[in-house]
Structure formats: C-alpha cells, structure tokens
C-alpha cells in the first residue's frame, strides 16, 4: 500500500496553527498574571490610601481634642520673667484652668470677637494667681496675683500695701541674693532681697485671705513703693507681682508710670485689668528648667530639670 504523506503546505499550516495556539495560551497566561499584578498593586494602593486616611483621622482627632482641652479645661504657659519670684521662677511651665472663671473671647485660640464679657463666669478671689491679656496690648499674656477686687481701694505707701485703708500684714522670714532680669530694662543684675510672708485680707464673701511669699528690695524704691490711691472700678481687678520692686503691674498705668533715676520705667503699662481679659487661674507646675541646657544639648537635659518643682501647686 502506498501511505499518504501530508503535503508541505499542510504541515506548515499545522505548525502555524500550533504556534498560534501557543501564542494565544501565552498571552492568556500573561494576561492572567498581569491582572493578578494589577489587583495586587490596587490592593497595596488601597491599603496605603487607607493608612494615610487613618493617620489623617488620628491627627485630626488629636488636634481637635487638644484644642478642646486647651480652650475649655487647661492651657499651658511658661514663666518668662522674675516678676512673680519667689513663687514662680523663670523656666517654670504651668497649667492654667480655663473653667475657673468661665470663658471670654480670650479663652479661645486667636481671640475671635464672638461675644463680649464672660459666660459661666466664676468669681476671682483675692490672692489668686492669674494669667490675663494685657489691656494695652491684648496679644501679650501676663501673670500676676489678684490684690484688689472691684470697689477696693489700693495704695502702696513707704513700701507697705494698703487695701481699703488698712495696712496688709507681713512678716519678715529672711533674705536672699537673687540674680535676675529687670522687667523695666531687661538687664541682668544681682540684688539682695528681703523675703516676707504676706497675709492678704479676706474678700467680701469671706474667701481669699491667703498667705504667700513676696520679695522686697527696700521700702523706698522709686515708683513702686509710693503710689497714688487707686479705686478699682466695677468689672476690673488690681494685679501685682510678688517680686514687688521688679514687676510692671496695676500700680503702673497710662496716668502713672514715672521714670526712675537711671531712666527705668515700665515699657508696657497694666492699670486695672478687665475681668474679660482673664485667661485662667494658675494651678500647678508640670515642668521646670533652670535654663542651663539648650534645646539641642540633649545630654544636659537631665541636669537642667528642677525635679523638686514638678507637679507642685501654685500658691
């Protein structure tokens, strides 16, 4: 028998068909693999986007919670000068309670002019240590002690404080040499101070009347130790620093800011402080540094912290 052999043309057709089937299968495999890679890439991208969104959500809620706490509960402040020595030192960091006196425009970030006065107002007591906005420049924060309440008369005569015509009792407890920055000139000087315990009288409601320590260089310092008699108007308070001879406070106003023998005077007068300007009451220290370590000197940080002052109350 004669076997039939496929012609060359038929063989070429079969080879071409096989190659096409192989190419088709390879393309399908490549497409499947490519689709898998695309799916994986999409999943990774989705995960990254989800991670970014979660991070943004976390940051948003953290910032929102911080703003709420700062606005309605506690706000941190630092002590930049020695006007509240000996109780508060330069480098102290403290929390101020915002709810103690209620809320005004100065309770909120950027002080928006949303309303006037205070809401949920509490009553300040004589002797409270208060952070307030400077009446002559509301962008500036000051910290002083409440000395005069609305309706009080306040005067300093020969270095002694008088409230409503009565001399405030004080008791000498020692003396100390202080290296400090003058609030009037900005210079650093070394001075001998007398340390007293001052006993403030109670307010009309029988509150206040606390004891606190004060510094006095002498009882005859120019400007600060002999003042006019002040009558505190309604809705205002008379504030003084505990470092009596190195404090620009309510003793100095637009009508009384004398220039001392060496040209020193308060660059920013205070006068009576409106209740609306109160930010909050100083409560306790959460950190304190003596300033011996710069921010980048990490190895010095443990030695610059005043550990004994951490978490102490403001009195």
Torsion of CA 72, 137, 87, 177, to 10 degrees: 160
Catalytic annotation, pick one of 98, 107, 144, 224: 144
Tokens of 127: 């002797």
Could you give phi then psi for residue 276, rounded to 5 degrees?
-60, -30
Catalytic residue (choose from 83, 247, 250, 288): 83
Q: Is 42 a catalytic residue?
A: no
Residue 83 appears among annotated catalytic residues: yes
> Torsion-angle region of residue 203: left (phi > 0), alpha (psi -120 to 50) or beta?
beta
**What residues are labeled active site?**
83, 144
């Amino acid at each position: 028998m004669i076997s039939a052999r496929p012609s060359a043309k038929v063989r070429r057709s079969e080879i071409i068909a096989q190659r096409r089937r192989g190419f088709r299968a390879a393309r399908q495999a490549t497409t499947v693999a490519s689709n898998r890679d695309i799916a994986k890439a999409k999943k990774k991208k989705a995960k990254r986007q989800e991670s970014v969104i979660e991070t943004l959500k976390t940051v948003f809620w953290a910032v929102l919670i911080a703003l709420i706490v700062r606005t309605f509960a506690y706000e941190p402040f630092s002590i930049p000068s020695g006007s509240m020595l000996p109780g508060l030192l330069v480098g102290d960091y403290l929390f101020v309670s915002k709810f103690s006196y209620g809320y005004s425009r100065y309770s909120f970030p950027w002080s928006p002019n949303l309303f006037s006065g205070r809401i949920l107002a509490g009553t300040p007591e004589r002797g409270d240590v208060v952070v307030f906005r400077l009446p002559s420049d509301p962008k500036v924060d000051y910290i002083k002690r409440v000395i005069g309440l609305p309706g009080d008369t306040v005067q300093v005569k020969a270095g002694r404080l008088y409230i409503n015509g009565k001399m405030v009792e004080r008791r000498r407890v020692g003396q100390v040499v202080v290296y400090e920055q003058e609030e009037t000139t900005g210079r650093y000087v070394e001075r001998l101070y007398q340390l007293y315990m001052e006993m403030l009288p109670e307010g009309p409601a029988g509150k206040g009347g606390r004891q606190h320590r004060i510094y006095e260089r002498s009882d005859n310092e120019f400007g600060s130790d002999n003042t006019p008699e002040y009558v505190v108007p309604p809705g205002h308070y008379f504030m003084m620093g505990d470092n009596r001879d190195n404090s620009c406070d309510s003793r100095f106003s637009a009508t009384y800011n004398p220039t001392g023998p060496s040209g020193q005077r308060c660059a920013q007068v205070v006068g009576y402080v409106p209740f609306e300007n109160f930010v909050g009451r100083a409560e306790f220290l959460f950190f304190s540094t003596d300033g011996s370590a710069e921010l980048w000197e990490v190895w010095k940080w443990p030695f610059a912290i005043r550990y004994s002052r951490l978490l102490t109350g403001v009195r």
